[in-house]
Amino acid sequence: MTEPTALQEAWEIVKTQFPLAIWETVYVTVLATLFAVIIGLPLGVLLVIGDKGGIKPLPGWLMKIINVIINLLRSVPFLIIIIVVFPLTRLIMGTAVGTAASIVPLTVAAFPFIARLVESSLREVDPNVIEMAQSAGADSWQIITKVMIPESVPSLVANITIALTTILGYTATSGAIGGGGLGKIAITYGYYRYKYLIMIFAVVLLIVLVQIIQTTGTHLASALDHRLKK
Amino acid sequence: MIRLVGLSKTFTSSQGTVEALKNINITIEDGDIFGIIGMSGAGKSTLIRCINMLERPTEGTVYIDDIDLSRLNRRELRKVRGKVAMVFQNFNLLMQKTALQNVCFPLDIANVKPEAAEAKARELLKLVGLEDKENAYPAQLSGGQQQRVAIARALATDPKVLLCDEPTSALDPNTTNSILDLIRDINEKLHITVIVITHQMSVVESICKNVAILDNGEVAEQGAVGEVFAQPKSRAARALVYPESSQESAISVEGQKLIRVVFNGAETAREPMIATMASKEGILANIAFASTRTINDRVYGSMLLGIEEKQVERAKKYLTGSRGITVQEVSEND
Ligand SMILES: Nc1ncnc2c1ncn2[C@@H]1O[C@H](COP(=O)(O)OP(=O)(O)OP(=O)(O)O)[C@@H](O)[C@H]1O
Ligand SMILES: [Mg+2]
């Protein structure tokens, strides 16, 4: 009789707790990505235009410092970032724990990653097309907003999709220390209470979410790409 | 009028310095179609990029209608660039924009209202024969069509000068001709001065009025296309105009003298001339070498004839009788 009880109990928990957990995972992921894009996009643009051959070359030492900082942030494990940004999180959110508060460390961890993704997308733009814009009298701002970004939209969409799925993975970790969502459920039930059924169910849901995001992103990127003959 | 005065450009990189342009002096009159021809690496692209200051010359200046471009600040320069439009070898279209949006691009840059820009762009697409393709993306167009869109785009800001950097090098011969016709039409109808960079003689031949031959960063020769082609003086010019002439070797036959016949816009084709000389004058000529081309129904180039010593004087007299032909005797070490 233990089997059906465990299943029934698990189902009960799924029904009562999962809708909120899914919602928390999704909104934390989306908001953290959004904020990371807000910081990472201009930074990625700066990395490309400030380069030696870029449209607005910056001093070499400055570019080096920016690059080192980005690499540093990228190499710090997420768990450490959560702890290090505690004061910042408290400052911004009033508290360092909870679902909403986890958006801060997620953003800090994700923006350098996004900056690199944006950089690689923008570097795909044909330099000859940028030269065309210059020859037509475009200034740097116009080149960024009317050439570089619009021309790399499909690649940006594909890369932001990657960022979304990565950040979704991070939310599971932030769930471990105070954040909400499916990650928290997987850990509290699976690790602390040995309810493996619930843990498996949460993990499967995370996988499904990643699949949905990835498939949608890939389709969107190719639908937006006019370089393909259609 | 465009004047390049003492233009030099030196690139300095970790690999050393490259003198891409050395003391270039060229004057291009309004309404001209001016060709700049040279081998790969001669400095053609660098030169054309100096004309609109995409590349700042190391020395010398560029005057467009007596405005010294090298003295302009960035903002003033951006304004001038609207009047000096550019067409590229690889079209350089925005791949995520339709043909119409591409043509609108320079107008958008110049803050022209969208409705006005679109009206103008439609007019230009019609001019280049693509009125039915305004919603097509570049990937859906052929190379020739893409270059037409690029030309329409270049015309959007009513430029006075059109700079073309190898506009037909990525196109097949038929498409090349239709694009060259279009450029000639634009020059005639819109009175736009055109500067064409190319490594293909045929391009200069079919549309240019004047030409400069660029060799290793220097102007080897310049002038009217007919003149430069008829009597290329520099080695670089000869190599370009008559690639075969490097093989010109005077194989003198016993008892024969060699004479060089230079065609400078002669109206006669070379074969009938030799034939008539034989039938009318009884002079048999042995063609030792010939390299001529026909431009606008006129013959340019030169030919080496081997003729019986006794008949040389009569042959010279007969040949010089035709307009646009000069004759020289060829000495042993010529
Ligand atoms: N940005 C640069 N830095 C260093 N050297 C350069 C640069 N641009 C051009 N050069 C050099 O200047 C010379 C002239 O180059 P340019 O591109 O003007 O030649 P080109 O005549 O247009 O040749 P092609 O027919 O191959 O296009 C070459 O030796 C080239 O390597
Ligand atoms: Mg070139």
Pocket test for ligand 1, best of B7, B9, B15, B18 (most atoms within 8 A of CB): B18
Residue nearest to atom 27 of ligand 1 (CA): B40
What residues flank ligand 1, with Cβ below 6 Å?
B 11, 13, 18, 20, 38, 40-46, 199
Residue nearest to atom 7 of ligand 1 (CA): B11
The partner residue sitting opposite B139, judged by closest CB among A129, A131, A227, is A227
Residue bearing the bigger pLDDT, A195 or A212: A212
Q: What is the pLDDT of residue B232?
A: 80
Q: How close B227 gets to chain A, by Cα (Å)?
A: 33
Does the global pTM surpass 0.90? no
Residue bearing the bigger pLDDT, B91 or A182: B91
Residue nearest to atom 18 of ligand 1 (CA): B43
B126-131, long-range: CB < 8 A, 24+ apart: B127/B152, B127/B155, B128/B152, B128/B182, B130/B99
B277-285, long-range: CB < 8 A, 24+ apart: B277/B315, B277/B318, B277/B319, B280/B318, B281/B314, B281/B315, B281/B318, B283/B307, B283/B308, B283/B311, B283/B314, B283/B315, B283/B318, B284/B308, B284/B311, B285/B315
CB-CB contact of A58 with A65 (8 Å): no
Q: Report yes or no: B96 at the A interface, CB cutoff 8 Å.
A: yes
**Location of structure tokens 């200051």:** B53
What contacts B166, CB < 8 A, 6 or more positions away?
B44, B45, B88, B89, B197, B198, B199
Contacts of A124 in chain B (CB under 8 A): none
Identify the nearest ligand to the CA of B18 by its number.
1
Computed over its alpha carbons, how large is the radius of gyration of chain A?
A: 21
pLDDT tens digits, residue range A40-78? Answer: 999 999 999 999 889 999 999 999 999 999 999 999 999
Distance in Å, CA B276 to ligand 2 centroid: 46
What contacts B33, CB < 8 A, 6 or more positions away?
B183, B184, B187, B193, B194, B196, B207, B208, B209, B210
Q: How close B38 gets to chain A, by Cα (Å)?
A: 21
What contacts A1, CB < 8 A, 6 or more positions away?
none
Distance in Å, CA A41 to ligand 2 centroid: 34
Distance in Å, CA A134 to ligand 1 centroid: 19
The partner residue sitting opposite B92, judged by closest CB among A128, A146, A150, is A128
Q: How close A42 gets to chain B, by Cα (Å)?
A: 21
Distance in Å, CA B42 to ligand 2 centroid: 8
- Domain boundaries in chain A? 6-225
Both tokens assigned to B259? 């004479």
Q: Give the ipTM.
A: 0.89
Query: Percentage of chain A with pLDDT > 70?
Result: 97
Q: How close B61 gets to chain A, by Cα (Å)?
A: 18
pLDDT tens digits, residue range B66-121? Answer: 899 989 998 899 888 889 999 999 999 999 999 999 999 999 999 999 999 999 99
pLDDT tens digits, residue range B256-300? Answer: 888 888 787 777 666 677 888 888 888 888 887 777 777 767 777
Of the candidates A71, A83, A72, A77, the one whose C-alpha atom is nearest the C-alpha of residue A119 is A71
* Alpha carbon separation from B140 to A127, B7, B153, B300 (Å, rounded): 21, 41, 17, 42
B251: pLDDT confidence band, cut at 50, 70 and 90?
low
Inter-chain touch A137–B79, beta carbons under 8 Å: yes
CB-CB contact of B62 with B112 (8 Å): no
The domain A6-225 having CATH identifier 1.10.287.610: the answer here is: no
Under 8 Å CB pairs connecting chains A and B tally to: 75
Distance CA B49, CA B219 (A): 16
